Copies of this chain bind each other. A is one copy, B any other.
């Protein structure tokens, strides 16, 4: 059991901190190409940024972080890429486990693309230590798979949030996307309905603490209305 806040000192106070952050760590392949590597070599460089980000979340009082690890759409890519992002995803989960974080891997586990090494985390939360942060990894996730669990016959609209496959993941307050693209790409459509959306132009492997702090600086002045 290691200290979750290793090397992170909270140096800035915010008026308001998001409870739950969604992370879209995009740009691994473009980063690799810009470093004269093959596309698939980018993913391994996305693990350390993820660990640093969860340490920052814990230090600044964020309670939950959900990472867009890989999707069913992504499984149509070249096999070298599939192997590389699957390995990176497993390593990221293993790096986060056995600390003070609770871990869940959410996605379609009835598929050969769901890594067997993550089956103990599949669609259930495994708690560790003081559980200062819930970390969810979307693994072989698909928004269509998620929503197709809604069985609306006779359902009141208010029950929709509890009917999706991802019902254990609560509403997201802030989504941060790296790599410059300004879209959700199928990331948890139900939990994202009221989320504020912050885009970092840098690629994910170029993560810096300042990206996270910029997002929190921006978020503290967003006016939360929940559609009202």
Contact = CB atoms under 8 A, between A and B. Distances in A.
Contacts of A148: 150, 152, 155-157, 159-160
Interface in A121-160: 142-145, 147-153, 155-160
A185 B156 CA distance: 20
A158 B144 contact: yes
A138 B71 CA distance: 30
Interface residues of A, number: 44
A123 to B, nearest CB: 16
A142 B203 CA distance: 35
A197 interface: yes
Contact of A189 (B185, B190, B223, B228): B190
Given A150-B152, A194-B183, A194-B186, A76 B159 contact: no
A70 to B, nearest CB: 11
A31 to B, nearest CB: 15
Contacts of A144: 157-158, 160-161
A28 to B, nearest CB: 14
A73 interface: yes
A196 interface: yes
A47 interface: no
A35 interface: no
Cβ-closest 7 pairs across A and B: A73-B227, A144-B157, A189-B189, A150-B150, A148-B157, A182-B197, A186-B193
Interface of A: 71, 73-74, 76-77, 142-145, 147-153, 155-161, 181-186, 189-190, 192-198, 222-223, 225-228
15 contacts: A73-B226, A74-B228, A143-B193, A144-B160, A147-B157, A147-B160, A148-B155, A151-B151, A151-B153, A152-B152, A153-B153, A182-B222, A183-B195, A184-B193, A185-B225
